[in-house]
Structure 1
């Protein structure tokens, strides 16, 4: 088996898994993929008998072949020992007729923790075989930023710069990032939306001048977003874990199919599930759940991806995205690994803001992927209905996935819960008919009706000083990255 990663836009660009993790994004703008992914078959019988950590090792060893067993086991141990508030890491709760996969039990109360506790470990191991340092540039729509900052805080030879859209994240998300400690971290609010920041970060990775400066300082520019294969791969594990749960609870027999509903904007979370499917996970359907920025719903319905539309700021800000970067990887596999086709689509997207896929390819995608979208009004109704019927409190992102799951005809269906409701307390309380304007007070109020206590990391925010106050223009991002090359590294 040819165990190399290639660019989605050029199959001749080949790297090892360690190199792909350190590079983050290919020099041609493409994302790294493993052509042989669909030849891997994970043993479901083993999955159902093993711990989360053991399943993580079994999956990672297949996809990161140039990491030694000792390296992988050490990375997994460091990532998942005493860093989550439950031994299950990603427990499941049955809510009415939907199985809700809770992915928010990590240090920053969002699903990004599952991968971003592990990525720093993998990246540090990969760096050991080089004489370089790494500077991570990450745009965030709210949750990735804090999870990455927390994961990479004071990690040796790695610095991190996070950009988030100014006044377009929740107050809690803002406080989580603005209070972040660490000698190697920088946080900037950017005037614009997530897509503006993400597009500029991608440009910086491909900027010759910027890369020249970095090279002269022996610094690699890389990413902690799900465009980095090292961020994406750890997320595959919890899809197999949810399957294990259903088997062990007697809900299904090994080999029977399940469906998943995934709230998403950047397509990374649902893509991890698709990777699991390629590796033998029995899946009937993936439902891609969107908010009012329903560019993915339109694409999956028509085969036309068109970002030429108004950007809508919603109460589910982590999904406020019009350029779904990880869709590029799906196009690669669904096109028969045709890198020329993917490049043409991405060129069209850059030049015209849209592209269209052939009818037969759309049909192939629709056989496996369903879709739906939920606006803010409906999201609040779902939060209220679920609470009144079950006393379970859903955050605005989870409510969208839950709604799409309930409207499907699939059973059993697992709906991914991507964040703690405490991260969006004001909007959750508003949905429940309770008006509170201050988010810290709202968390306390929400704790009166939510069965889960306020997560430790969120409860501490009130006492932490604001450390990062810079608000910059998109055009200033290059300058602050240049400055970070000096500021983030301390011997």
Structure 2
């Protein structure tokens, strides 16, 4: 059965999931959603015997209904069969009184690999029989960029252009992008924040004149950010797999609720958990963990979303975000599909910088979500305590989540903290959190010192970067991003 999608801001134009994935963003600026979410519900008793691959097939088969069973199976095998350093893909381990879901075992050592290793394959299936080239245009706060570059490099008929905020990602994150090889890839730092980059990318998608110019060259744009449903859908799989692992460990019985604490900035990672809950997974509370850019904490607490605040540069840079794009999808479902209401809220955010939820919607939000934030000092303390007390090395984003999870009272459920990145992506900050002065060393000097201190080896995916040549050093103002995209298209599709 085909699964049709439409914009969060209007239901007039229905598209298939393949068309939604190719487009990335709806023409009116909204995000693609399906009204069939939750019609097909899983039975928790079936999960214990499922592998990650099995869960991914089940999820994608329900959310991307116009892909055949054979197409989904091919995409899952291509993405996960040999690209992760553990057969489990997302292993679950003990951490204190709770659990740690390790989402960083892919080629770029971040949770974005779960989706961005499969998105290129989904995109190719969506393009089948179409001669049109696709340029992926993405803004990144640190991890999406490299994961998108690694996923789409060398993919026939596709190019990828990544924009990141210059000086606001870690040394290793920057090197991961700057050293990416491939004739179809382009990387550019911008003067500003991730929100500046993301906002301009959305304007690029809405630029009708640019679309016409690119169409003359047989090129269209799409996205690898979680605004693309093809990026969001695969992330639902690891919530099901975490539950399956808890069943196999004897930690829960089928039907028991499980809480998940998620470090997030753009809201896609935790929204995937909400999708899983709508699809029948026994999810108790979804805890949204933020750093000092705590716009989501304030929103969930008060019902007021207000981005008019000072941007704070933190040691968890992938969460340094003030405009959480994926929240729009949640608003659509909370409002029972009221597109006009969603459009009004998004208009208020664009024009006024804030909006207030009606009381009924805020109450529905609070039924599923809790929230909290951690300062840099609290984050460092959590990293140090996790190492000294339990000999578990975690990165700053995971530490934010653990800190928030411990602060919010539990309801007797098992609790899973999502670990979204390998600590060696942030060696200097982790080293400092363990009480050692980085002494101004670069990412690799800090990586070496952290290995010596802990005896935990750095992943080869990161350590090889020290000898990789810099291939991308472009910088531009946000107003120049459109021109950069056009030049990237000209290079990629000669």
User: Within 5 A, what are the aligned runs for 1:169-208?
Assistant: 169-208=169-208
- The answer for the alignment partner of 2:483 in structure 1 is 479
Query: Does the 8 Å contact 2:2/2:66 carry over to 1?
Result: no
Give distance in 1, aligned partners of 2:2 and 2:174: 44
User: Within 5 A, what are the aligned runs for 1:177-256?
Assistant: 177-256=177-256
Secondary structure (helix, strand or coil) at the match of 1:164 reads strand
- The answer for the alignment partner of 2:370 in structure 1 is 370
Secondary structure (helix, strand or coil) at the match of 2:452 reads coil
Give distance in 1, aligned partners of 2:243 and 2:406: 19
Unaligned runs of 5+ in 2: none
Give distance in 1, aligned partners of 2:354 and 2:455: 44
Secondary structure (helix, strand or coil) at the match of 1:180 reads coil
- The answer for the alignment partner of 1:103 in structure 2 is 103
Within the candidate set 472, 490, 493, 1:489 is matched to 493
Give distance in 1, aligned partners of 2:212 and 2:228: 21
Secondary structure (helix, strand or coil) at the match of 1:37 reads coil
1:417 lines up with 2:410 in the alignment: no
Unaligned runs of 5+ in 1: none
TM-score under structure 1 length normalisation: 0.98
Give distance in 2, aligned partners of 1:186 and 1:59: 32
1:52 lines up with 2:52 in the alignment: yes
| Cα displacement (A) at 1:301 | 0.6
- The answer for the alignment partner of 1:263 in structure 2 is 263
| Cα displacement (A) at 1:45 | 2.5
Query: Does the 8 Å contact 1:116/1:231 carry over to 2?
Result: yes
Give distance in 2, aligned partners of 1:273 and 1:368: 10
What's the Cα RMSD here? 1.0
Give distance in 2, aligned partners of 1:462 and 1:153: 20
- The answer for the alignment partner of 1:469 in structure 2 is 473
Secondary structure (helix, strand or coil) at the match of 1:447 reads helix
User: Within 5 A, what are the aligned runs for 1:380-419?
Assistant: 380-410=380-410, 411-419=413-421
Query: Does the 8 Å contact 2:345/2:355 carry over to 1?
Result: yes
Give distance in 1, aligned partners of 2:125 and 2:209: 28
| Cα displacement (A) at 1:443 | 1.0
| Cα displacement (A) at 1:386 | 1.2
Count of matched residue positions in the alignment of Structure 1 and Structure 2: 490
- The answer for the alignment partner of 1:73 in structure 2 is 73
- The answer for the alignment partner of 1:432 in structure 2 is 434
- The answer for the alignment partner of 1:448 in structure 2 is 452
| Cα displacement (A) at 1:488 | 1.2
Give distance in 2, aligned partners of 1:452 and 1:240: 29
1:336 lines up with 2:336 in the alignment: yes
- The answer for the alignment partner of 2:288 in structure 1 is 288
| Cα displacement (A) at 1:456 | 1.2
| Cα displacement (A) at 1:82 | 1.1
TM-score under structure 2 length normalisation: 0.98
Give distance in 1, aligned partners of 2:129 and 2:28: 24
